[in-house]
Structure 1
């Protein structure tokens, strides 16, 4: 259904490089051929063998943290073969350049790229059914909640659409955050730093129960927006280096990840006036910048993907916001750029051009189920598709991956020998 996956056409916008105006240098410079992480330490070299039948672990040394000892998780793998079958069921190449963001909801998948388009895809057939257009280009983050679609662009603004159904999905543009008039008035009054990020947005998160949208930025802050009127109600001075990822739990606890090699945990106190978010704990990530986060649906496990190729994870304690270090998943040979989780599955995408599918077992240990190979560039974004997207009756999960090679892929991963039997948790 997609076009041939030869080398992508040149994108309309420049390569995904975001400049930190404060220090006048590029924090990231990622090409579609080979990623450049020269500014990020401890990136292990690429393995010479990439066979799917090889054991899913990596023995490169990892620097230990001065605060905690480090004991990487030993993966329980059959050395003769991986315990699952997987296949790429769709591969689509558009003229959009690098794919930078993915979000899935209610039978639709939204993808953002270097262009000014957010493409809308219908499941399960994964056919394009719409486009969201703006004057700005480079869609760096996407979030979907109920009937709202939030897209963050390289101009440090967020566009909002409302989704309706009239035989087919339709999207109506609602707002731009921050609104231009409010930003101009704030600039004149000297409050412009409260109204707009001073660096590119890197991640979005939504807390519907508290009517809050969070945005993280290279300017080292996290801004808190009230969804009902799109106003900035708080700016969190979150880290000493750029904030790369944020996730929020159902209990309102906020997690932020940064180039300062830490994950920070924030709680919201409604009685604290103008700065209700307070820092609860700082989790060290073994001296490696943390590029991506994912939280299990029940909030029990937090995962952080780092530039050294490791995925650290923490278990939730008895109290809200309390976390205990669990270990690290080994396998990727370059920076982990994206994570997603559903049920007991964890999916990681990396600058080594592969995705790995992990399962969390009852004893808390993890097993690598599959290595998804096929992209010709770093895997920048990943989303687990809803169970209704499956139409073949197999167990497992369906995954959509976007790469800096400009290609979107959909994969089905299922345990070997279980074809034709649908698990209860996946519908």
Structure 2
């Protein structure tokens, strides 16, 4: 079923917009620098803000200073008739920043009071909440952990070598992780001719995103080779290859009802529904959502599947609202404020977090009337923000379990944790006093 198109804007052909897709090899060039393998066309120019928070050094941690500021006001949403940013005084405090010798931070996943971070190195670091201390790591021979997913007792990590490593975790006394599999299995790089169709078991380009459908026992992997592969978790076999887009696929998410969403450099989001009676090709295209000439780099879905967010290279975060039927979506509007490409999105309850190549994060709240307000602009990174994870609750035992905590990873190699807490109940309606956020790590 067709959705409503976003409002008209001046033409900006997709072909003129640089791609942020992950690429580890280019047949037309021979550049060997690591930075050119990832996001080669991202501008690292520092954005110009009306007020830039002072950066605290580690020597000032003994007596942290408090600052009062007023976030700069982003441009208004297409569909909102009221002010999108509440002009509130904001209290923020810098405690510390975690910088490891791992290079760029490329992926983050949070589950069961644990946060997993992947980077250019071969190490996946594990952090314990609420104190946010490093409590272990996972190692492999391959480098560049480009995507992470955690589901129940399994950790899935996609690497730049087009393979997925799987760890099993147990909770007997202490958390333990045991490497159990590699996808595809060794020796599985063969072509099988099924009903006259050629199906390759391994992606032909680097993997960009992972998604898990636990109820259907399925792991999805998307790649710059323009395909999505469907893996059966029980035996780790590839059961389907979806020719999803004409351009590299940057992000995928799957809803609880099994609907799959794919975002691509072709400036569209496509919606796929699984039909169990379709034999070898059970996934069928339901609708294509246009993003107004701008490649879609990241997707996020609310927990109830009611709102789909797509971050684009033009700095907009478009969102679509779920209709009465599964896979039916209606265009809701766009959140605007970033000056560079939106590279990552996170969602927790009615909070939405967008990380951008402009080195800032914006925290949005979705109100009961469906409109969005920008609560805070988190500044502190000195490079594009590549990944973000948002979750409810605090990060210390003394904090009340409300508000939202945010982990951000940047191409500057720094991992940070932020705490966003509003003094009024934003979920019920009106912001009355202020909003405070702390830079914790």
- Identify which of 406, 411, 420 aligns with 1:413: 420
Query: 1:18: Cα distance to partner?
Result: 1.5
- Structure 2 unaligned runs (5+)? 1-20, 53-68, 426-441
Query: 1:194: Cα distance to partner?
Result: 2.2
Q: CA RMSD of the aligned region, Å?
A: 2.9
Once the two structures are superposed, residues 191-248 of structure 1 have per-residue CA deviations (whole angstroms, 9 ceiling, x without a partner) of: 8852000000000000000000000000000000000000000000000000000000
> Cα 1:85–1:241, aligned 2, differ >3 Å: closer, same or farther?
same
Partners in 1 of 2:347 and 2:362 — Cα distance? 12
Aligned to 1:53: 70
Aligned to 1:18: 23
> Cα 1:80–1:294, aligned 2, differ >3 Å: closer, same or farther?
closer
Aligned to 2:223: 217
Aligned to 2:262: 256
> Cα 1:360–1:143, aligned 2, differ >3 Å: closer, same or farther?
same
> Cα 1:371–1:299, aligned 2, differ >3 Å: closer, same or farther?
same
Aligned to 1:10: none
Once the two structures are superposed, residues 125-166 of structure 1 have per-residue CA deviations (whole angstroms, 9 ceiling, x without a partner) of: 111111111100000000000000000000000000000123
Alignment of 1:319-398 (within 5 A): 319-387=325-393, 389-391=395-397, 392-393=399-400, 395-398=402-405
Partners in 2 of 1:268 and 1:87 — Cα distance? 47
* Residue 404 of structure 1 pairs with residue 411 of structure 2: yes
- Structure 1 unaligned runs (5+)? 1-15, 60-69, 419-427
User: Does structure 1 conserve the Cα–Cα contact (< 8 Å) formed by 2:226 and 2:247?
Assistant: yes
Partners in 2 of 1:291 and 1:282 — Cα distance? 16
> Cα 1:78–1:323, aligned 2, differ >3 Å: closer, same or farther?
closer
Alignment of 1:18-167 (within 5 A): 18-19=23-24, 24=28, 31=35, 37=41, 46-51=47-52, 53-58=70-75, 71=78, 73=80, 76-77=83-84, 80-81=87-88, 85-88=91-94, 90-167=96-173
User: Does structure 2 conserve the Cα–Cα contact (< 8 Å) formed by 1:117 and 1:134?
Assistant: yes
Query: 1:58: Cα distance to partner?
Result: 3.3
Aligned to 1:279: 285
> Cα 1:53–1:102, aligned 2, differ >3 Å: closer, same or farther?
same
Query: 1:71: Cα distance to partner?
Result: 3.1
Partners in 2 of 1:45 and 1:129 — Cα distance? 33
Once the two structures are superposed, residues 173-204 of structure 1 have per-residue CA deviations (whole angstroms, 9 ceiling, x without a partner) of: 110000112225759xx988520000000000
Aligned to 1:425: none
User: Does structure 2 conserve the Cα–Cα contact (< 8 Å) formed by 1:396 and 1:414?
Assistant: yes
Aligned to 1:208: 214
Aligned to 2:236: 230
Aligned to 2:272: 266
User: Does structure 1 conserve the Cα–Cα contact (< 8 Å) formed by 2:85 and 2:375?
Assistant: no
User: Does structure 1 conserve the Cα–Cα contact (< 8 Å) formed by 2:394 and 2:405?
Assistant: no
Query: 1:37: Cα distance to partner?
Result: 2.8
- Equivalences, count: 384
User: Does structure 2 conserve the Cα–Cα contact (< 8 Å) formed by 1:101 and 1:111?
Assistant: yes
TM-score, normalising length: structure 2: 0.80
Partners in 2 of 1:345 and 1:79 — Cα distance? 15
Partners in 1 of 2:139 and 2:127 — Cα distance? 15
> Cα 1:322–1:138, aligned 2, differ >3 Å: closer, same or farther?
same
What secondary structure sits across from 1:180 in the alignment? Answer: coil
